[in-house]
Amino acid sequence: MKQIIVIVALVLLISCKEGGKDTAFVKANSTEKAAQFNDWLAVQFHEDLSRDPQMQTSMGSKENYGKWTDISSEYELESKKIAERRLAYLRDSIHKEGLTGQDRLSYDLYYQKQKQEIANFDYRLYTYPVNQMHGMQSEVPAFLINQHRIDSVSDAKAYISRLKGIQPLFEQLSENLKLREYNGIMMPRFVFHHVLKDSRNVIDGYPFNDSKDNST
């Protein structure tokens, strides 16, 4: 009887050790997969940031300080292709079964974001780039006033570069509006008055006229 008890105890001890090894291996493997996924996410974030000079400025970076974010159709198509590439990588190279907790949630959210980005491409024209609530006619001067800090001569030169860049930026905007018009997507008539008022306010006051009040 004692021999049987000893044998059972040994079997249980060996099983516990082996189970512990298996558990440790699973945890290590899961940690490795999570690290791989999070490193990849960081690379994607920096790729997005590199394509968006205005986001760089908003985050306190002075990289591409004299540039505006591209709003062309070519940029939008490139964004879709990036989303397709990311979605394929998530499906084929990241094994979500090995992710747990916050990492699994990040995977699901980022996966859905890429799917949404691709689906939204077909409806990209169904927006109003200028409107009575915000729009580029007011967002551009607000960005220069609130986001573009000038702490040095190079910052001032970057500011001037952005001022010069408004014309080509608004040429892109004009093309976007024409494309919407061609597709029958127009903002309501009552909005035009508000947009024109916003636009005129930007060039109202000194030095644009003889007013004693400074311009925006």
Within 59-152, residue ranges assigned H as helices are 73-92, 101-120, 136-146
Angle at 179 between CA 177 and CA 181, to 5 degrees: 70
Dist CA 33 CA 197 (whole Å): 54
Mean pLDDT of the chain: 89
Domain boundaries, the chain: 1-50+72-126, 129-216
Q: How confident is the model at residue 13 (pLDDT cuts 50, 70, 90)?
A: very low
Dist CA 2 CA 91 (whole Å): 56
Provide the token pair at 70: 């591209």
Q: What percentage of the chain carries pLDDT values higher than 70?
A: 87
DSSP β-bridge partners for residue 214? 206
pTM listed for this prediction: 0.81
- Are 165 and 66 in contact by the 8 Å Cβ rule? The answer is yes
Q: How confident is the model at residue 61 (pLDDT cuts 50, 70, 90)?
A: very high
Whether the per-residue pLDDT at 2 is higher than 70: the answer is no
Across the range 82-103, mean pLDDT stands at: 95
**Torsional sign, CA 55, 57, 59, 63:** positive
Q: How confident is the model at residue 15 (pLDDT cuts 50, 70, 90)?
A: low
Mapped onto helix, strand or coil, the DSSP state of residue 125 is coil
Dist CA 96 CA 104 (whole Å): 7
**Torsional sign, CA 106, 108, 111, 116:** negative
